[in-house]
Amino acid sequence: MKEEGTTTLSELRVRDSAPVAFVAGDSLRRKLESFGIQSGSLVTLLQKRPAVVFQCDQVELAVEARVARAIHVRAKVAPSRR
């Protein structure tokens, strides 16, 4: 269910930034909105394991991989495949 030009937060490389395209899942979208993470916010990936850590504005957030896969971002760089 990938859109043209988007990838998910979990597929970014560490230290890459990208603007959020959309968050899949209504309850998750509402939850992340309250942290200031919504379509258009710039997110920076900081760490992938054991939990995904990313930054948005001055909020540093740790989430499980399932949540990171639901955050779709507009990729500026080719996503790294491991």
Partner 1 sequence: VSCKYGDAGEVLLVGQANVGKSVLFGQLTGHYALASNYPGTTVECFTAKGPGFRITDTPGIDRLEAGSGDEQLTLAVLRERPDATVLQVGDAKNLHRTLFLTSELVTLERPMALALNMADEARQLGVELDRERLQQELGVPVVTCTATTGENLEQVRRAIRDARAPRDPFQAGPAWGCGLGCPGCGAALRADRVRELAQRAVRRRTYPIRTWAVRLGEWTRQPLTGIPILFVVLAFFYYLVGVVGAQKVVSFLEIEVFQNRVLPLLRRGLLDTPVYDLLLGPYGLISMGLVYALAIVLPLVALFFLAFGLLEDSGYLPRLAVLADALLRGIGLNGRAVLPLVLGLGCGTLAVVSTRVLRTRKERLIAVLLIGLAVPCSAQLGVLLGLVSGLSPAALAVTVVTIVTQLFLVGRLAAWLLPGPASEFIVELPPLRRPRAWDLARKTAARAWWFLREATPLFLAGTLLLFLLDRTGLLQGLIAGARPLVTGWLGLPGEAAQVFLLGFLRRDYGAAGLFALARGGAFSTWQLAVALVTLTLFLPCIASFFMMAKELGWRTAVKIAGFLIPFAFLVGGVVRWVAPV
Q: What are the φ/ψ torsions at residue 11 (nearest 5 degrees)?
A: -100, -5
Among residues 50, 78, 81, 82, the one that binds partner 1 under rule CB under 8 A: 50
Contacts with partner 1: how many residues (CB under 8 A)? 29
Selection from 58, 81, 77 nearest residue 10 by Cα:
81
Instruction: Tell me how far apart the alpha carbons of residues 35 and 14 are, in angstroms, rounded to a whole number.
Output: 21
Q: Which of residues 52-71 bind partner 1 (CB under 8 A)?
A: 53, 57-64, 66-67
CB-based contacts of 26, cutoff 8 Å, min separation 6: none
Q: Which stretch binds partner 1 (CB under 8 A): 4-12, 25-33, 74-82?
A: 25-33
Through-space distance between the first and last CA atoms of the chain, rounded to whole angstroms: 19
Complex with partner 1: residue 45 or 78, whichever CB lies closer:
45
Contacts with partner 1 by CB under 8 A lie at 26, 28, 30-36, 38-41, 46-47, 49-51, 53, 57-64, 66-67
